[in-house]
């Protein structure tokens, strides 16, 4: 595993910033009722998605969750088409039929976000089975939260992946809460990673606010998977800055707790790491400006796109035509 070069780090910084700006924009658009429904924002967890996806090859798969915008952007999706999807437009990734919780971008090997907690874990496992059966050198990164590790689907998945040596990297984003339920009220063990001994799976716990630490851990895991040694589990300890979804007033946690985590801002950390590498403030300011423009133009793009019509309603209910 080579050391990250400055360009790659800058690119990671840019992606993290793009995720955060996207989420701030979505929050604003929801408050202004310019977009409908709800959204589960990824703010504060950017280092996990970007650190992990930066360690992957283009044709490695990911699966995502209801809090999926970050994974989608990190894997290389266009914010224009994501924004169009959140506006429910026909040129959105799902032609306006998925929305925030269901963006999939097969072209970037993103098998989709999922509205069911734990729902994508078996799917990632199945993608790992394809890779194994086709003897390809890809891997799958399966993102999920700490709360989903209490679903049966999680346990059935990691058990099967272990028994069958499937090339899946299970990345648990431990942000301490399943909506309001604190992890202490949901797990008896100290770390989520402690559970994995029961499945004979290698498990590491890393600082999920440090993109480079995540990158390093996932690089190692990918090497392990590609060499046919089976699955790998990484717990990334992090924090979601916003509520679970737009309607969550966060009565279950203190502002002191949140502020402590805001001090550990993963984007600030990346900035410091870049400055340590000798990057100038001016360069970072350029990235910030470019990200700001990208988000602004995504909104302009999305709002200008056509709405679906009644003719679109039954389209894609079945794949092309049935035989």
Partner 1 sequence: MREITYRDALNEAIAEEMERDNDVYLMGEDVGVFGGTFGVSRGLIEQFGPKRIRTTPVSEAIIAGAAVGSAITGMRPIAEIMFIDFATIASDQIINQAAKICYMFGGKTAVPVVFRTQGGGGRSWAAQHSQSLEAWYTHIPGLIVIMPSTPYDAKGLLKTAIRDNNPVMFIEHKQLYNTKGQVPEEEYTVPIGKAKIVREGKDITLIATSFMVIKCMEAAEELKNSDIDVEIVDPRTLVPLDREIIKTSVKKTGSALVVQEACRRMGFGSEIVRALIEDCFDYLDSPPQVLGAEEVPIPFSHILENFTLPQTEDIIKKVKEIL
Residue whose CB is less far from partner 1, 76 or 115? 115
Q: Is residue 124 a contact residue for partner 1 (CB under 8 A)?
A: yes
Minimum distance from residue 251 beta carbon to partner 1 (Å) = 29
Q: What tokens does 235 get?
A: 């717990």
Closest Cα to residue 67, out of 242, 185, 226? Answer: 242
Minimum distance from residue 170 beta carbon to partner 1 (Å) = 13
Residue whose CB is less far from partner 1, 184 or 320? 320
Q: Is residue 323 a contact residue for partner 1 (CB under 8 A)?
A: yes
Q: Is residue 77 a contact residue for partner 1 (CB under 8 A)?
A: no
| Contact pick of 54, 148, 153, 209 for partner 1 (by CB under 8 A) | 153
- Give residues 95-114 in contact with partner 1 (rule: CB under 8 A): 95-98, 102, 104, 106, 111-112, 114
The Cβ of residue 191 has, within 10 Å, a number of other Cβ atoms equal to 17
Minimum distance from residue 122 beta carbon to partner 1 (Å) = 2
What secondary structure does DSSP assign to 238-261, as a single string?
Answer: ---SS-SSTT---TTS-HHHHHHH
Who contacts 307 (Cβ-Cβ below 8 Å, separation ≥6)? 88, 89, 90, 96
How are strands ordered across the β-sheet holding 232-237?
61-63, 140-145, 168-174, 232-237, 202-207
Q: CB under 8 A: which stretch of 4-12, 93-101, 275-283, 293-301 binds partner 1?
A: 93-101
**Alpha-carbon span 271 to 286, nearest angstrom:** 13
Q: Is residue 163 a contact residue for partner 1 (CB under 8 A)?
A: yes
The Cβ of residue 188 has, within 10 Å, a number of other Cβ atoms equal to 7
CA 230 to chain centre: 22
Q: Is residue 299 a contact residue for partner 1 (CB under 8 A)?
A: no
The Cβ of residue 260 has, within 10 Å, a number of other Cβ atoms equal to 11
- Give residues 170-229 in contact with partner 1 (rule: CB under 8 A): none
Q: CB under 8 A: which stretch of 181-189, 266-274, 284-292, 311-319 binds partner 1?
A: 311-319
| Whether the Cβ atoms of residue 71 and residue 82 lie closer than 8 Å to each other | no
Q: Which x/- pattern, by CB under 8 A, does the window 29-68 give for partner 1?
A: --------------------------------x-x-----
Q: Which residues of 269-290 are buried (b: 16+ CB within 10 A; e: fewer)?
A: bbbebbeeeebeeeebeebeee
Minimum distance from residue 316 beta carbon to partner 1 (Å) = 3
Q: Is residue 238 a contact residue for partner 1 (CB under 8 A)?
A: no
Residue whose CB is less far from partner 1, 154 or 241? 154
Q: Is residue 315 a contact residue for partner 1 (CB under 8 A)?
A: yes
| Whether the Cβ atoms of residue 117 and residue 147 lie closer than 8 Å to each other | yes
Which residues does residue 232 pair with via DSSP β-bridges, in sequence order? 169, 202
Who contacts 194 (Cβ-Cβ below 8 Å, separation ≥6)? 203
| Contact pick of 21, 43, 157, 209 for partner 1 (by CB under 8 A) | 157
Q: What is the CA radius of gyration of the chain?
A: 19
Summarize as ranges the residues that interact with partner 1 (CB under 8 A). Answer: 61, 63, 92-98, 102, 104, 106, 111-112, 114-116, 119, 121-131, 133-134, 152-153, 156-157, 159-160, 163, 315-320, 322-323
């Amino acid at each position: 595993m080579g050391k990250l070069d400055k360009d790659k780090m800058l690119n990671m910084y840019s992606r993290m910033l793009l995720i955060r700006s996207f989420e701030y924009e979505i929050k604003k658009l929801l408050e202004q009722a310019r977009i409908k429904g709800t959204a589960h924002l990824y703010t504060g967890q950017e280092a996990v998605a970007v650190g992990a996806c930066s360690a992957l090859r283009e044709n490695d798969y990911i699966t995502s969750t209801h809090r999926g915008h970050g994974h989608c952007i990190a894997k290389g999706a266009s914010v224009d088409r994501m924004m169009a999807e959140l506006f429910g437009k026909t040129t959105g990734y799902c032609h306006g039929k998925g929305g925030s919780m269901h963006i999939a971008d097969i072209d970037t090997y993103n098998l989709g976000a999922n509205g069911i907690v734990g729902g994508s874990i078996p799917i990632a496992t199945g993608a790992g089975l394809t890779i194994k059966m086709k003897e390809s050198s890809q891997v799958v990164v399966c993102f999920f939260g700490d709360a989903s590790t209490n679903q049966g689907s999680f346990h059935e998945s990691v058990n099967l992946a272990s028994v069958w040596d499937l090339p899946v990297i299970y990345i648990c984003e431990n942000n301490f809460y399943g909506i309001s339920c604190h992890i202490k009220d949901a797990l008896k063990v100290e770390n989520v990673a402690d559970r994995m001994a029961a499945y004979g799976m290698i498990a590491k716990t890393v600082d999920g606010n440090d993109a480079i630490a995540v990158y390093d851990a996932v690089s190692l895991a990918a090497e392990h998977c590609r060499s046919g040694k089976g699955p790998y589990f990484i717990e990334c300890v992090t924090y979601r800055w916003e509520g679970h979804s737009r309607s969550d007033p966060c009565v279950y946690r203190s502002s002191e707790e949140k502020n402590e985590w805001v001090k550990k801002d993963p984007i600030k950390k990346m900035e410091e790491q870049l400055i340590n590498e000798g990057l100038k403030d001016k360069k970072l300011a350029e990235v910030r400006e470019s990200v700001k423009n990208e988000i602004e133009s995504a909104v302009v793009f999305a709002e200008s796109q056509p709405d679906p019509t009644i003719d679109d309603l039954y389209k894609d209910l079945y794949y092309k035509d049935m035989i």
